[in-house]
C-alpha cells in the first residue's frame, strides 16, 4: 500500500507519494476510511487548508478515522499527510488535469509541434545569452590544462557527455561526470589552470553547487551553463545564463535541451577557431584513424 519515494523531502526521511497511494487504495479501505479517501480525492487542494475536525465532519466520520486513513497512506498523522499532499500537488497538478484533447497529431503535425517549440526556445536563448560571458567562457576553456564537465540528471548528464564529445577532439583533456559522488571527488583534484564547467537547467542541484565550491576552493576556474539568477549562476566565476520557458504540454519532450546543445556547439566552434592549429591537426588525425579503421574515404561530418 505505501509507496515511499527515496527523495530528500526536507523533513529528514523518505517522501510519501500520497496521490499514488490514494489510487492504489481505491476499494481496499474500510468503509469509513474510504469515505475519507473519496473526499480527499475530490478536494485535493482544499484539504491542505482544512483542520482534522473539518475533514472528519465533511466525511461524517470521527477524527481517529481520519488519523487511521493518514497512516494507511504512509503518514504518521494528519499534519504530515497535509504536508505530503501539498508537496505532491505542487509538482503534480499539471499531470492530474491535462484537459480535453482532440485526436492525437500524427506525422508532420507532431514534427511541426516539436520544431516550433525548438525554434521558440532557440530564439529566447539567443536574446538572453551575454556575449561577454560567452567570450570569457571560450577563453577559459581554450586555455584549460584540464576540463571537468559535470551534469546531474537525465538532460544535464547527456549535455555533459556531449560537451566532452565536442571538446576532446580539439586537443583539450576533458572528462564528463554525471555521478554525484564522483563529481565531488573529481572536483577536489582540480587546481589552478584547471576548469570545471557545470551544466544545470535549475541551477539549484546540491551536488553541482558543492562541486563548484570544492573546485573553486582549490583554485580552479568555475564556469556554468544554467538558469538565470540561480544559485549556481551566482556561485561561479562565469555563467552563461538562460531562462527558458517550458511548454505546458506534458507529453512534449523539453525543448530547452536543444538550446543548451546550441550553446555547447557554439563554444566548441569558438574554441576550435581559437586553437586552430591544434584543432586542424587533431581533426586530421581523427579522420585518418577512422579511415584506417573502417576503410571509408567518402564525405563525412568534418567535426566528427
pLDDT grade for 220, boundaries at 50, 70 and 90: very high
Quick one: pLDDT at residue 103? Answer: 62
CB atoms near residue 250 (< 10 Å): 9
pLDDT tens-digit series, residues 11-44: 334 456 788 888 887 778 899 999 999 999 888 8
Q: How far apart are CA 168 and CA 187, in angstroms?
A: 19
Residues 6+ apart with CB under 8 A from 220: 148, 187, 190, 191, 192, 194, 195, 196
When comparing pLDDT for 282 and 9, which is higher?
282
3-state helix, strand, coil in the chain (%, to 5): 60, 10, 30
Quick one: pLDDT at residue 264? Answer: 96
Quick one: pLDDT at residue 39? Answer: 92
> Which 8-state DSSP code applies to residue 170?
G
pLDDT tens-digit series, residues 241-250: 999 876 666 6
Average confidence (pLDDT) over 188-211: 96
pLDDT tens-digit series, residues 221-237: 999 999 999 999 999 99
- Which of 72, 68, 64 has its CA nearest to residue 24? 72
pLDDT grade for 6, boundaries at 50, 70 and 90: very low
Chain centroid to Cα 198, Å, comes to 12
Quick one: pLDDT at residue 245? Answer: 73
When comparing pLDDT for 10 and 41, which is higher?
41
Q: How far apart are CA 7 and CA 101, in angstroms?
A: 33
| Nearest-5° Cα angle at 251, 89 to 7 | 40
66: its cell numbers: 481520519
pLDDT grade for 5, boundaries at 50, 70 and 90: very low
pLDDT tens-digit series, residues 89-148: 766 655 555 555 556 666 677 887 777 778 888 888 999 999 999 999 999 999 999 999
Is pTM beyond 0.75? Reply is no
Residues 6+ apart with CB under 8 A from 57: none
Chain centroid to Cα 174, Å, comes to 22
When comparing pLDDT for 211 and 104, which is higher?
211
Strands (E) in the chain, as ranges, are 4-8, 14-16, 147-150, 174-177, 195-200, 221-227, 238-242
Look at 182-186, 196-200, 202-206, 295-299 and tell me which has the smallest mean pLDDT: 295-299
Quick one: pLDDT at residue 60? Answer: 93
Cβ-defined contacts of 135-141 (< 8 Å, 24+) = 136/238, 137/197, 137/223, 137/238, 137/240, 137/267, 138/267, 138/270, 138/271, 138/274, 139/274, 140/195, 140/221, 140/223, 140/238, 141/167, 141/172, 141/195, 141/197, 141/223, 141/267, 141/271
- Residue 67 pLDDT > 70: yes
Residues 6+ apart with CB under 8 A from 278: 170, 171
Average confidence (pLDDT) over 192-207: 95
Q: How far apart are CA 279 and CA 274, in angstroms?
A: 9
- Length, in residues, of the chain: 304
Quick one: pLDDT at residue 9? Answer: 39
pLDDT tens-digit series, residues 152-195: 988 899 999 999 999 998 989 999 999 999 999 999 999 999 99
Cβ-defined contacts of 206-213 (< 8 Å, 24+) = 207/152, 207/180, 207/183, 208/150, 208/151, 208/152, 208/183, 208/232, 209/235, 210/184, 211/150, 211/183, 211/184, 211/187, 212/187, 212/236
Quick one: pLDDT at residue 199? Answer: 97
Quick one: pLDDT at residue 4? Answer: 38
Quick one: pLDDT at residue 107? Answer: 66
Q: How far apart are CA 283 and CA 268, in angstroms?
A: 13
Domains of the chain are 4-96 (1.10.10.10), 108-294 (3.40.50.10490)
Amino acid at each position: 500500500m505505501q509507496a515511499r519515494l527515496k527523495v530528500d523531502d526536507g523533513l529528514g526521511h523518505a517522501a510519501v507519494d500520497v496521490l499514488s497511494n490514494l489510487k492504489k487504495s481505491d476499494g481496499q479501505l474500510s468503509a469509513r476510511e474510504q469515505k475519507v479517501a473519496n473526499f480527499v480525492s475530490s478536494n485535493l487542494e482544499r484539504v491542505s487548508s482544512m483542520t482534522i475536525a473539518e475533514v472528519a465532519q465533511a466525511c461524517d466520520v470521527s477524527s481517529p478515522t481520519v488519523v487511521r486513513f493518514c497512516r494507511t497512506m504512509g503518514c504518521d498523522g494528519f499534519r504530515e499527510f497535509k504536508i505530503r499532499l501539498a508537496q505532491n500537488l505542487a509538482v503534480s497538478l499539471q499531470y492530474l488535469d491535462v484537459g480535453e484533447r482532440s485526436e492525437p497529431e500524427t506525422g508532420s503535425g507532431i514534427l511541426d509541434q516539436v520544431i516550433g517549440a525548438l525554434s521558440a526556445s532557440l530564439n529566447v536563448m539567443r536574446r538572453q545569452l551575454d556575449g561577454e560571458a560567452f567570450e570569457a567562457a571560450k577563453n577559459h576553456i581554450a586555455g584549460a590544462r584540464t576540463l571537468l564537465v559535470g551534469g546531474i540528471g537525465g538532460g544535464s548528464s547527456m549535455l555533459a557527455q556531449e560537451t566532452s564529445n565536442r571538446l576532446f577532439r580539439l586537443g583539450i583533456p576533458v572528462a564528463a561526470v554525471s555521478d554525484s559522488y564522483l563529481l565531488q571527488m573529481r572536483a577536489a583534484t582540480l587546481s589552478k589552470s584547471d576548469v570545471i564547467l557545470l551544466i544545470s537547467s535549475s541551477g539549484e542541484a546540491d551536488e553541482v553547487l558543492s562541486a563548484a565550491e570544492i573546485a573553486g576552493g582549490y583554485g580552479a576556474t568555475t564556469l556554468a551553463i544554467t538558469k538565470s539568477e540561480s544559485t549556481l549562476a551566482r556561485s561561479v566565476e562565469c555563467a552563461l545564463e538562460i531562462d527558458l520557458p517550458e511548454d505546458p504540454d506534458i507529453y512534449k519532450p523539453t525543448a530547452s535541451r536543444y538550446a543548451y546543445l546550441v550553446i555547447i556547439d557554439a563554444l566548441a566552434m569558438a574554441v576550435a577557431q581559437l586553437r586552430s592549429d591544434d584543432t586542424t591537426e587533431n581533426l586530421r588525425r581523427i579522420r585518418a584513424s577512422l579511415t584506417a579503421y573502417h576503410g571509408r574515404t567518402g564525405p563525412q561530418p568534418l567535426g566528427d
